[in-house]
Structures are given as C-alpha cells and as structure tokens.
C-alpha cells in the first residue's frame, strides 16, 4: 500500500501546491497537506484489515514524459495567463 498509494500521494503534494491560487500560505499549503494526510490515513486503515492480499501480474512501466509535459504546459498557462486575469474590455 505504501508504494501504490502513500508514496504517490505524498509526491502529489509537490504537484498540487503550484496549481493553487496564490493566497495565504495556510490556504495554499496546509489544505492539500491535511487532505492528503487524512486520505492516506483512511487508505492505510482500510489496507490494515486486508492482510491476505497478493499482487498479481505487473503493470508495465509507462512513460511519464507526455503527462509531465502536459502538466508543465498547464502550469505555465495557469501562471502566465490565468493567474493575472483576463481582461474582457
């Protein structure tokens, strides 16, 4: 469960924070951290009950270049165009 859910969730915090609307640090950083920690705790509590789970097969290693590139483009679009606002006059 650590490699499947916990580690990716913790790594996702680093990707979520840049996409947050710039405000007070409590709103920008603490909300994603608290929500992620509550979710991880919930998942670990559920996994604790299932002690007989065995992995089957293996997922192929997927290339992350395309999704990472799309995320960077979206972040640049957000930070450079949408964050300052679009003037409609």
pLDDT by residue (tens digit) across 71-84? 889 988 888 887 77
- CB proximity list for 7: less than 8 A, separation 6 or greater: none
Q: What is the pLDDT of residues 31-50, one digit of tens each?
A: 999 999 999 999 888 887 77
Taking CA 5 as the corner, what is the angle to CA 7 and CA 13, rounded to the nearest 5 degrees? 55
- What residue segments make up the domains of the chain, in order of their start? 2-49+64-82
- With a pLDDT cut of 70, the percent of the chain lying above it is 87
Q: Where are the alpha helices (DSSP H) in 1-89?
A: 7-16, 25, 31-49, 65-77
């Amino acid at each position: 469960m650590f490699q499947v859910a916990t580690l990716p969730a913790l790594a996702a915090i680093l990707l979520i924070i840049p996409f947050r609307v710039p405000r007070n640090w409590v709103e920008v950083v603490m909300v994603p951290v608290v929500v992620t920690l509550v979710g991880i705790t919930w998942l670990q509590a559920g996994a604790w009950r299932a002690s007989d789970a065995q992995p089957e097969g293996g997922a192929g290693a997927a290339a992350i270049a395309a999704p990472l590139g799309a995320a960077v483009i979206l972040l640049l679009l957000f930070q450079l165009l949408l964050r300052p606002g679009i003037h409609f006059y």
